[in-house]
Amino acid sequence: QVTLKESGPALVKPTQTLTLTCTFSGFSLSTSGMRASWIRQPPGKALEWLARIDWDDDKFYSASVNTRLTISKDTSKNQVVLTMTNMDPMDTATYYCARDVTKGLDYWGQGTLVTVSS
């Protein structure tokens, strides 16, 4: 059974750095072809793909937030970590992690709401 769960602060101040952790089970990011992605969704708005990390440690980022994002993985802990620097109120959103396979984002976490406010 594949599960994913996001964790991290619910509230961050402007200019701070956000660190989110996705802890998963039921698959391994050391398996060839396996990937994990982060996606966010501002309240009432559309989904926005942010970043992806692959089994071979290749990393891909959204151009719109590229310079602020870092994605990493710890295969021994079954975790993927997303770091976003210089947070702004416009970054207020629900952040999701998802398993990313050839056929798409087939399993998602429940999401975690991050509010950016002073």
Which residues contact other proteins (rule: CB under 8 A)? 37, 39, 46-49, 52, 60-63, 96, 98, 100, 102-106, 108-111
CB of 116 to other proteins, least distance (A): 20
In this complex, which beta carbon is closest to other proteins, that of residue 104 or of residue 118? 104
CB of 15 to other proteins, least distance (A): 25
In this complex, which beta carbon is closest to other proteins, that of residue 62 or of residue 70? 62
Q: Which residues contact 82 (CB under 8 A, 6 or more apart)?
A: 18, 19, 20, 22, 38, 50, 51, 69, 70, 71, 95, 97
CB of 25 to other proteins, least distance (A): 16
* Closest-CA residue to 97 (of 67, 72, 115): 72
- How far apart CA 20 and CA 73 sit, in angstroms, is 12
In this complex, which beta carbon is closest to other proteins, that of residue 35 or of residue 116? 35
In this complex, which beta carbon is closest to other proteins, that of residue 39 or of residue 87? 39
* Closest-CA residue to 41 (of 7, 98, 101, 91): 91
